[in-house]
Structure 1
Amino acid sequence: MTKDELHERGNKLVTEARVAAVDAVRASMLTEFIEKHKTVDVQQLKRWRGRARDALGAWQRVDEIVSELLREVEKTYESEKASHD
């Protein structure tokens, strides 16, 4: 991949990562966890677990996008370095 192609692809992935991060933050902001309840029932625990899993999945998506971009950057720089040797 050329530097121009990397720049174009990088911009796209950075935009995707930012959108995914906002989604992940939104999924992580669970007021249920900080609200005080006298008792916590099984249904509430299941709902908490489900929401935590959703947030985890959203953050994993951010990790996937950023990891892909890092691989592309490293691959491009290694290829460029090899062509200069």
Structure 2
Amino acid sequence: NAYLSTLFALDYKLRNKGVKSLNDVEIGETSFHGIASELTGLLKDLSNALEENDIVAAGDILEYELTEKLEMLKPYLSEIRQLVLAIQ
């Protein structure tokens, strides 16, 4: 999974440069790790729904749940961008 590989590589690079880990990135009381785990679970659910040809479940995930999770991810991406810029 390219998504996870990229996150692991970025986390490794940040920690080696002495910057905090992606696990330490928090917005409010929710960590990036928590949001990423929820997103990964949601993508697994979507994959299962598509494999089972459950178009209703897939549609609900895409229309309601995935949209909400992606919106929640935005502030974390801004924070992670700042971390990446700090190590360059």
Give me the TM-score of the superposition, normalised by structure 1: 0.44
Question: Is the strand fraction higher in 1 or 2?
Answer: 2
Relative contact order, higher structure (CA 8 A, sep 6+): 1
Bigger radius of gyration, 1 or 2? 1
Give me the TM-score of the superposition, normalised by structure 2: 0.43
Question: Is the helix fraction higher in 1 or 2?
Answer: 1
